[in-house]
Amino acid sequence: MSDCLFCKIVGGEIPSKKVYEDELVYAFYDIDPQAPTHFLVIPKEHIASCGAVTPENSAVVAHCFEVIAKVTKDLGIEEFRVVSNCGASAGQSVFHLHFHVLAGRDMTWPPG
């Protein structure tokens, strides 16, 4: 999607600090970290949010979670939080599906 920030990051038009990449998924550190470790895992394919997941595109979502398990293990992270904001009122600011992975501090519940 031409005017999507994360599609531009996937395409290399906007630089990012890569954590992991394969043919389906890209992971990179958040520009404004909310924890000592904070990276984002995104499908390379443009999907707007969790609310746009369908039987046709859901395999990449499962793959995102495989990547989260692998990357956290590789980084030596055993405890972490995964967040996906869906919609502006839920805190979504970039409308390309992404999973925040946060670690390195105690988390509170419920989230604000």
Closer CB to Zn ion, residue 25 or residue 103?
25
Q: Is 98 a catalytic residue?
A: yes
Between 4 and 24, whose beta carbon lies closer to ligand 5GP? 4
The C-alpha atoms of residue 96 and residue 74 are separated, in whole angstroms, by: 25
CB burial class (10 A; 0-12, 13-18, 19+) of residue 53?
middle
Q: What's the token pair of residue 47?
A: 């999907």
Residue 52 within binding range of Zn ion, rule CB under 5 A: no
19: tokens are 């954590």
Is residue 52 close enough to count as binding ligand 5GP by CB under 6 A? Answer: no
What is the contact mask toward Zn ion in residues 3 to 22, using x (rule: CB under 5 A)? Answer: -x-xx---------------
Token pair for 10: 């996937």
**What are the residues binding ligand 5GP (CB under 6 A)?**
5, 14, 16, 28-32, 85, 91-94
